[in-house]
């Protein structure tokens, strides 16, 4: 089956029990990741239960092609539903996935788990879409860049939680800047909410976001400061990364903001790899195209790919979860994450 754009979000929020395999793909890796996360939370009672969720990469499929079938057949040790999540950059390593889909359709595969495949953009002629789309027990969900209407809905729903609304001139000025990547858009909306203040922090009646507020936290104002932290981290320059992070925090920067920026950068690297890793892919992802920043991005691209990139994404996700759930200060948790990634990049670059 193939989900329409209109029903895509409903499909992941309220999954059909008859669907045993999902292919969530598209050039907007932020939206792809968001919908995959929504599906995981909708299927599993505890998404953090390692006995309920098995995560694999294309490197895992290539090194152990039978591992996917074993994971799909395994029973949950704690009872309840199980899900196997596979993250790909494209068609590479998709052979075992296609065999699972064939088995589900023929009835020869008695899978205990639901299969979730998350990938970059795929062509209609590709093997994965050809396997999923005709299948009755599988579904594809495409993730393309948000329209102005869907961005407006996302923005309004997030602001509504904190009792905020956009003034008309702010709406006209700001929404076009968010187009292109769901993760970037969500991060910018969160940044604006933090700037304006949570419901419990604001003065009574201060619930309208003006154009002046938007200009104060515009995405391009501070990207250079964030890149001063991210670039040395992802290039393995430990001393520079540590120094830049502490300078940013001392100057009033947000550890959570840096973590969000790191997640966006990792997603951006993944999107470029998925689109071919060439100059055109970099341009479409919004990566810098000229000068020292472009050179640094290309070096990051060469270091972070495949399994290494997926591991970095998982570490960033774990850090975000720890920030939300633990009593430890965000500054310490994010600082530790940055040093771990910098050490890893330094080892890869030797």
Q: Is residue 36 part of a domain?
A: yes
**Domain check: are 68 and 131 in the same one?**
yes
Q: How far is CA 195 from each of CA 61, 176, 213, rounded to the nearest angstrom?
A: 44, 20, 8
Q: How far is CA 118 from each of CA 34, 109, 250, 267, 331, rounded to the nearest angstrom?
A: 10, 21, 38, 13, 31
Q: Is residue 111 part of a domain?
A: yes
Backbone angles phi, psi at 23, to 5 degrees: -115, 110
For residue 233, what pLDDT is reported? 94
User: Is pLDDT larger for residue 338 or for residue 254?
Assistant: 338
Q: Is residue 1 part of a domain?
A: no
Q: Is residue 123 part of a domain?
A: yes
**Domain check: are 22 and 115 in the same one?**
yes
**Domain check: are 107 and 228 in the same one?**
no
**Domain check: are 238 and 311 in the same one?**
yes
The residue from 122, 142, 162 where one domain ends is 142
Mean pLDDT lowest for which of 121-135, 170-184, 199-213, 291-305? 170-184
The tens digit of pLDDT for each residue in 118-172 reads: 988 888 888 999 999 999 999 999 987 666 677 788 888 889 888 998 888 888 8
Q: How many domains does the chain have?
A: 3
**Domain check: are 41 and 80 in the same one?**
yes
The tens digit of pLDDT for each residue in 20-59 reads: 999 999 877 778 888 999 999 999 988 888 889 999 988 8
Q: Is 176 exposed, middle or buried (0-12, 13-18, 19+ CB in 10 A)?
A: exposed
Q: Is residue 108 part of a domain?
A: yes
**Domain check: are 259 and 310 in the same one?**
yes
The confidence band for 114, taking pLDDT boundaries of 50, 70 and 90, is: very high
User: Is pLDDT larger for residue 122 or for residue 224?
Assistant: 122
Q: Does 19 score more than 60 pLDDT?
A: yes
Q: How far apart are CA 49 and CA 171, in angstroms?
A: 40
For residue 219, what pLDDT is reported? 47
Q: How far apart are CA 202 and CA 193, in angstroms?
A: 11
For residue 220, what pLDDT is reported? 44
The residue from 90, 114, 142 where one domain ends is 142
For residue 228, what pLDDT is reported? 85
CATH number, domain at 13?
3.40.50.300
Closest CA to 208 of 176, 173, 162: 162
Q: Which DSSP symbol is given to 2? A: B
**Domain check: are 72 and 152 in the same one?**
no
In terms of pTM, does the model score above 0.75? no
The confidence band for 221, taking pLDDT boundaries of 50, 70 and 90, is: very low
Q: Is residue 184 part of a domain?
A: yes
The confidence band for 92, taking pLDDT boundaries of 50, 70 and 90, is: confident
Which residue range forms the structural domain that includes residue 44? Answer: 8-142
CATH number, domain at 350?
1.20.272
For residue 224, what pLDDT is reported? 63
**Domain check: are 20 and 91 in the same one?**
yes
Crossing angle of the two packed helices 182-196 and 255-274, in degrees rounded to 10? 170
The residue from 204, 219, 234 where one domain ends is 219
């Amino acid at each position: 089956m193939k989900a329409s754009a209109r029903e895509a979000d409903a499909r992941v929020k309220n999954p059909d029990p008859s669907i045993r395999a999902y292919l969530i793909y598209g050039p907007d890796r932020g939206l792809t990741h968001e919908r995959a996360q929504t599906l995981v939370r909708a299927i599993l009672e505890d998404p953090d239960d390692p006995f309920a969720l098995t995560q694999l990469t294309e490197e895992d499929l290539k090194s152990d092609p039978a591992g996917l079938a074993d994971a799909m057949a395994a029973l949950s040790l704690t009872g309840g539903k199980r899900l196997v999540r596979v993250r790909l950059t494209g068609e590479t390593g998709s052979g075992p996935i296609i065999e699972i889909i064939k088995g589900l359709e023929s009835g020869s595969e008695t899978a205990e788990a639901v299969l979730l495949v998350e990938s970059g953009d795929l062509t209609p002629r590709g093997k994965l879409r050809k396997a999923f789309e005709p299948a009755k027990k599988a579904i594809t969900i495409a993730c393309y860049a948000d329209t102005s209407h869907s961005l407006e809905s996302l923005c309004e729903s997030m602001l509504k939680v904190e009792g905020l609304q956009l003034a008309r001139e702010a709406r006209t000025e700001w929404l076009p800047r968010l187009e292109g990547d769901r993760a970037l858009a969500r991060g910018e909306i969160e940044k604006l909410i933090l700037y304006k203040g949570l419901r419990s922090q604001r003065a009574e009646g201060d619930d309208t976001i003006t154009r002046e507020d938007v200009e104060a936290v515009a995405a391009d104002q501070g990207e250079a400061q964030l890149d001063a932290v991210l670039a040395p981290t992802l290039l393995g320059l430990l001393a520079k990364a540590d120094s830049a992070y502490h300078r940013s925090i001392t100057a009033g920067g947000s550890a959570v903001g840096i973590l969000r920026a790191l997640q966006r950068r990792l997603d951006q690297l993944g999107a470029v790899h998925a689109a071919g890793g060439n100059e055109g892919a970099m341009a479409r992802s919004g990566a810098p195209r000229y000068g020292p920043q472009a050179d640094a991005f290309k070096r990051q691209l060469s270091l972070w790919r495949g399994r290494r990139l997926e591991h970095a994404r998982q570490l960033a996700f774990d850090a975000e979860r720890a920030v939300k759930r633990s009593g430890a200060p965000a500054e310490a948790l994010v600082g530790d994450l940055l040093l771990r990634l910098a050490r890893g990049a330094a080892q890869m670059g030797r």
